[in-house]
Amino acid sequence: MKQAPKTSRRDFIRKSSVLAGALAVSPAILSAACLQPGKKLGIALVGLGGYAGGQLAPALQQTKNCYLAGIVTGTPSKATEWAAKYNIPQKNIYNYQTFDSIADNPDIDIIYVVLPVSMHKEYTIRAARAGKHVICEKPMALNAADCREMIAACKKANRLLSIGYRLHFEPHTQEVMRLGQKQILGKVTEIATGNGFKYTGDPNAWRLKKALAGGGGLMDMGIYAIQGARYTLGQEPLAVRATQEKTRPELFSEVDETVFWELKFPGGQKVTGKSSYNNNWGFLRAKADKGSFELEPAYGYDGLDGKVNGKPMNIPNINQQAAQMDDFATCVRLGKQSRVPGEEGEKDMKVIDAIYRSLDSGKWENIG
């Protein structure tokens, strides 16, 4: 077999970025993207919980192409606190009753939906109808069917939709993509990956309510491990078989605690994954014909580290959220598709839907 030409990390990242934007979008988006040169695009955060306050808002102080222009919150005290902390004008502060009037605000170009999962579909669709481009946090929705509705609504409104997959902009992860997809060490034959943490938070939190979260550790943490297998191989899984355990059923009465799965890929690789709200995991390990590579930590906000054939990758960490949001702002300005569009979120939810079916049936379930 003719060997594929070697691809450097720099070349892979550059080409991936070009290909991600190769799909042309509608003239309406191109027209909307004719913005004042050098103008930062305004982002409004919808939902001011821990991720918005701890990660996104600080990242927006470092972004080059966008800035924190507005907020949407149902808590007046948060509105006051954020306005003072981030110098947000009163006209750019909304609650959930006044949200739709954001359509009339030219300061807001992009809406970032950072709400409980059950609200993602509603506010993504309402944001698109208001004429705003949308970033929706992961997991995209409660199920794949809801994802398709969100994608259709954004297309109908000629607005771009991106999912908050920050790791696609992170250099360790991009190196894993290069090593796996370009078969730098030969064909990948095996992947083992897991993500989770021991939940010690509020027992009444929305994340533990099935109606609000859609599920537990699988939806919140397992989605990273599913992504890890998919982007390492550059393939879509065909079927899945899953099992679960609960050691704290009183806390996880409505949602899954720990889930284990095996995925079938077209290339025949052995791929196993696991997620948990009761174990501190965060790794991705891949074996190939001519070696191995791994990340551990693999999915955190910072401190990622990796090895190739046992030797350190020696890649610096970056502000992942800043890179993610800056990239989407560039996509909006240029009128090109995000490298993590709604379709990417739908693919993960197809896998998660199949995992939950397998937990019920005890059998292999087809994905799709």
Spatial CB neighbours of 34, under 8 Å, sequence gap ≥ 6: none
Question: What DSSP element (H or E) covers 230?
Answer: helix 223-233
Write out the two tokens for 136.
């929706």
96 belongs to the catalytic site: no
297-334 burial by CB neighbour count: b if 16+ within 10 A, else e? bbbbbeebbbebeeeebebeebbbbbbbbbbbbbbbbe
Spatial CB neighbours of 15, under 8 Å, sequence gap ≥ 6: 7
224 belongs to the catalytic site: yes
Active-site residue among 138, 287, 336, 350? 138
Beta-carbon count within 10 A of 1 CB: 3
Cβ pair 131, 159 in contact under 8 A: yes
Name residue 107's amino acid.
D
Query: What residues does 239 pair with on adjacent strands?
Result: 264, 366
Active-site residue among 112, 199, 224, 277? 224
List the catalytic residues: 138, 224
